Amino acid sequence: MQTWKQIRDREDGKLPSRTFANRIKSNRISDLQLSNHKEIVSSHKGSINSLQIDFSERRYLLSAASDSSVAVYDIQRATNYEGGGVISKHSSLFVVDKQHESGHKYAVSSAIWYPIDTGLFITASYDHHINVWDTNTTKVVVNFKMPGKVYKTAMSTLATSHMLIAAGTEDVQVRLCDIASGAFAHTLSGHRADGVMNVEWSTSSEWVLITGGCDGAIRFWDIRRAGCFRLLDQSRTQLGRRPPILKHSAITKDSSTKLRTAQKKHANGGGSKQLPIGRVPSKGPMKQRLHPGMLSTQDRATAHYGAVTGLKVTEDGMYLLSTGSDSRLRLWDVESSCDTLVNYETVRLQTSKPIQLATAQDSALVFVPCMRTVKAFDMWSGNTYTTLGGHYECVNACWFNQQDQELYTGGNDRQILVWSPSRSIADQMDEGANEDQDNWSS
Amino acid sequence: MMEMEEEEVGRRNETRKVIALIERATNSTVPEVDHLLLKAIKTVVRYSDFELRLAAETLMDLMQRDHSQVRYLALQIIDELFMRSKLFRTILIENLDQLLSLSVGFRRNLPLPAPPAVASVLRSKAIEFLEKWNVSFGVHYRQLRLGYDYLKNTLRLQFPNMQANALRIQQERRERERRSKEILLSKYEHLKENLSSIKGGLLSTLNEIDECLDILHLKQELESEDVLDDEEIAEFCSLELQQIRLDAMKEGEKVYESSDNKVVFDVLRELYKLLVTKHLVSIQEWISVLVRVEVPDNRFRDSTLKKFIDIRNRLTSVKIKCEEAGCTLQNTSKLDEEEDFWEEGNAVSIENSSGVPNKKNKHSDMPSTSRKVSNDNLGLLNKESNGSDTDNVVRERKEVKSNPLKSKLIAEAPVVRWGSYLDSWGSNRVFMANQRGLELESHWGRVDDEAIIPADKIAELNVLATPYEEKQIEIQPCRAPLRRGGLCQRRDRKLCPFHGPIIPREDEGRPINQSPSEEMNIDSRTDLVEQLAKQAVKNVRDRDIDMAKKREIDKKSLKRAKLAKVREHNEAVLRDAALASTSGSATIGEDNEDKLSAREQKKSLASMLRKKVTSKDRISQKLLSSHARDNTVRLNDSWDDVKYREAFPNQW
């Protein structure tokens, strides 16, 4: 009923078509469940470490697994059908594994598409190598030798002026590998211990790189300059969401004071600095002066106790989600570099491996692998929206496909599961003769 | 308002009902869920979704119990509902991984709980169920496929593979059918080729039989015409008489074997045998082949089938005719055997019931052989048992026949062992002490030749020493019912160490209740037995050939009687004791039952968890107790001390 009314509203022009589409999409997202009609036949023999769908066609799923294999699946067209055409099975288009002449020796920790097209993909492995592959010939085009195990690689989707692969490795330095030249363009040093688990490019600036290290620090780097320019400190907090710029002027003193008092209640003592909400922290002269080196006291701030295992920037680039081995999920305001104190009801997170988070459209939901399940949290309230349980072992990676509103998850049980909105009733009607029905003996 | 409340109350009651039902069904030690309870659960759940949800919840709770038996029974109920209700499936599928980890126990940190035997059964059953579910509903539930795939391909658990097995069996059956069809077809082809010869053989036999019968009937008619006159018919005036006469005539029409038609009968019998044992069977076989075979061209088959059925009908009719004429197969075969037995290598013509002269011959033969055999047997028996007595016995028999008094005396005489004392049995003679035929006169001095040993002294000396012989009492087994089934086979005199006093029991081991009337019965029975025994003795004396045997029987019956008496006595004593010890009402049987029921009760879910105390445990308990250990340590220390002192005697 609601849908018909909305359609009429859209026809009448009461409802902007974009809003209409968003509503439909969020409706669909709201009832994600394990898809019965779409199945990915995993060709991996080890745990799935990373999943990514290409950005140009949003059709090819790239997966990397611990058995040093990388596979590509076509998620639009099924390779074969089962159960009377009800279940579509998607087998891999090709697999690159140990047998391949230049395949990785050890587990592949990360595999990403070249952001511009599907002609290239980049794999990073525990065998200290980053390979750049030509998709069509499945041959290595460029090869980077890293100083240690590579945990994570990332390429900027915005970049127009560089082709850099940011790589987080066992080494404390983050390296930027230039595909064009085949050399390390930059080495970013600042993390202290045990390497860098996660790297992520900002979605608002092509020069900004965010890294999460095993020392619990999240650092922001401007790749044009030396040193990190921002360090997230878990003791710097702000309550809730920063109001949009437009409404900034409308905030009265009253409300701001109210908020401040509320803030004080929540603030934990111990010299934690409180920034008033609504005030964009201006880069003061002291900050400016501090930048390249920063004060050593400030330089020791941590975002998590233990290692930072997951990073995800929201679509608009204003917020950053991070998970740590302290089983916390934090939402950071990038601009103010404060923890927004949203309490996500995570129970326990995997600590030993980097995990891959995903956000739904308009950053309404965040999907976090919580051990054997994937939890969907409301990003702003932190409430658990749904718990998607289907994996039999720990989940490592999830990827949300904006186009089909489908979620792909991969875990240690070497399965890639598809979570899709429940099908319409009409679809279910023509499921075939052997319907699922009650079967009571009379 | 009221109605709603009532509904609420009703619902609450109902809820209690389904939960209680499930609780009751799972609180049991038997390996199967009670059928009736299961049915009740199903009916309750069927008509109410609310109940179903509740049941699913309860069952999942039960699956988390720390007891494999509870989980096992719960799993069985889950399977029942899973196969039936869609709603139940959808509810359960949500937590399938949990259910699987609780039932299969594949997670290392969540192993299956205590009774390990039940746990292994639970695991295998769970795997079997999962496979079944996957086959039936896998298409509709991704989770099922996923779980199945995970257990099978990732954990590599062994699935029973029912479907594949069924397929294979079906394949095998199809193969078998195909082969049998081929065989049928080849037979059919064979028939097609040899039809004329087969038919020829059959028909020739038929014709021969017909001819034989014709000959017989011809002869008969000739004879019967002589016997029956028209005049005689007039005499049978009344209806009954007429009937009788008709019967007689019919009887008369029957052909009997006689010396002149014996040859014909022999041939007929031969042919009949052939007909029954060979032709009828073969034609039946051919018909079945024709019926079962599948050929594109049906014409030949149908026509042949028709022909064969005709032939079969003819065969059966001929067979009946033959039987009327007096041929029977079983008889012949039996007699054949007998003949083989008595007269070797004598292939004599087939016997039949009407063959009177032959039979007579046989009878004259038989007694002689049989007597011989029996004599032989007897002789053997006698030789085996007591060869020396036989002559005696035979002689006695002869005498007995002449002298009734003696027989009477013998009946009264006691049976004693043989010995030298029998020489002077009943004599009153005195013995001369010094007249032994040895000439030793005056060797040592004067000898009194007249010295005698008086008769009473002799008797005293000759008193038969009989060592006490224990009567061989057959010790009865205890026969108390065992828990594992079967009866206790321990043989003790009075008291079984496990089952108490030995009492007469039924075949199933229940004690036979002794009431006074029963005792009376026993008394009378023993009396009767004694009487019988006496009677038997008399009979024995009369028929002295079987004497030895009979005596044995006699002894046995006496023994039995005595045993019964002893037992009766024992029981009386025991009963008295029981009555004295308990307050009075409890009898032995009840006591026993109480114990049994207590044991039953003890076998609960908790008892399944209890570890059995083995002898090893007991030994370890003894050896590893702190006391024993201390003692050992002290002993060792003192030994060390002694050694040390011996080694270094100069050090104190």
Work out the average pLDDT over A344-366: 84
Q: Give the least confident one: A115-119, A172-176, A341-345, B318-322.
A: B318-322
pLDDT at B306: 86
Closest CA to B609 of B89, B29, B143, B154: B29
Higher-confidence position of A436 and B254? A436
Q: Which of B89, B142, B151 to mutate to test the interface with A (most CBs of A within 10 A)?
A: B142
- pLDDT the model gives residue A111: 93
pLDDT cut 90: percent of chain B above it: 1
In this prediction, does ipTM exceed 0.85? no
Q: How far apart are CA B209 and CA A363, in angstroms?
A: 105
User: What does the pLDDT look like over A125-179, one tens digit per residue?
Assistant: 999 999 999 999 988 999 999 988 999 999 998 888 888 999 999 988 899 999 8
What domains can you pick out in chain A, each with its CATH number?
Answer: 46-240+290-441 (2.130.10.10)
List the single residue in B83, B139, B146 with the smallest CB-CB distance to A390. B146
Distance CA B461, CA B443 (A): 27
pLDDT, residue B453, reads 81
In which element (H, E) is residue B379 found?
Answer: helix B356-402
What pLDDT is stored for residue A9 in this prediction? 85
The answer to whether the Cβ–Cβ distance between A389 and B97 falls below 8 Å is: yes
Examine the pLDDT at A62 and tell me if it is beyond 90: yes
What pLDDT was estimated at residue A270? 38
B84, B143, B154 member nearest A440 (Cβ): B84
Q: What is the pLDDT of residue B380?
A: 42
CB burial of residue A73 (10 Å; 0-12, 13-18, 19+): buried
Q: Is the pLDDT reported for residue A279 higher than 70?
A: no
What is the pLDDT, as a whole number, of residue A275? 43
Categorize the per-residue pLDDT at B505 as very low, low, confident or very high, splitting at 50, 70 and 90.
confident
Residue of A nearest to B149 (CA): A415
Longest dimension (CA), chain A: 84
Cβ of A440 within 8 Å of Cβ of B143? The answer is: no
pLDDT band at A70 (very low <50, low <70, confident <90, very high): very high
Q: Which of B218, B228, B321, B315 is nearest to B274 (CA)?
A: B315
- The mean of the pLDDT values for chain A is 81
Give CA separation, B383 vs A104, B371, B379, B388, in Å: 99, 18, 6, 8
Contact: B84, A437; criterion CB under 8 Å: no
Tell me if A34 and B97 make a contact (CB, 8 A cut-off): no
pLDDT tens digit string along A401-436? 888 889 999 999 888 999 988 776 545 555 544 567
Predicted pLDDT of residue A1: 62
Q: According to the model, what pLDDT value does residue B442 have?
A: 61
Residue A71, pLDDT score = 93
> In chain B, pLDDT over 70 holds for what percent of residues?
70
B83 CB neighbours in chain A (<8 A) are: 439
Are B154 and A392 inside 8 Å of each other by CB?
A: yes
| pLDDT of A333 higher than 70 | yes
pLDDT of residue B33: 83
Count CB-CB contacts under 10 A for residue B393. Answer: 16
pLDDT value of residue B588? 45
pLDDT at residue A262 is higher than 60: no
| DSSP H/E element including A26 | helix A17-30
Distances (CA, A) of B345 to B114, B336, B341, B365: 75, 12, 9, 16
Chain A: residue nearest B46 by CA? Answer: A440
Is residue B237 pLDDT above 60, yes or no? no
Query: pLDDT per residue over B147-160, tens digit each?
Result: 888 888 888 888 87
Range with the poorest average pLDDT among A154-158, A330-334, B536-540: B536-540
Tell which A residues from 141 to 180 touch B, by Cβ distance under 8 Å. Answer: none
CB atoms within 10 A of CB B22: 26
Higher pLDDT, A80 or A288: A80
Tell me the torsion sign for CA atoms A392, A393, A394, A395. Answer: negative
A441 to chain B: which residues are within 8 Å by CB?
84
* pLDDT higher than 60, residue B597: no
Q: Does any CB of chain B come closer than 8 Å to the CB of residue A424? A: no
Which pLDDT score is estimated for A121?
92
Interatomic CA distance for residues A315 and A381, integer angstroms: 18
pTM above 0.80, yes or no: no
* Least CB–CB distance from B86: residue in A84, A392, A437: A437
- Within 10 angstroms of residue B154's Cβ, the number of other Cβ atoms is 16
Whether the per-residue pLDDT at B418 is higher than 90: the answer is no
Pick from A35-44, B14-23, B128-137: least confident: B14-23
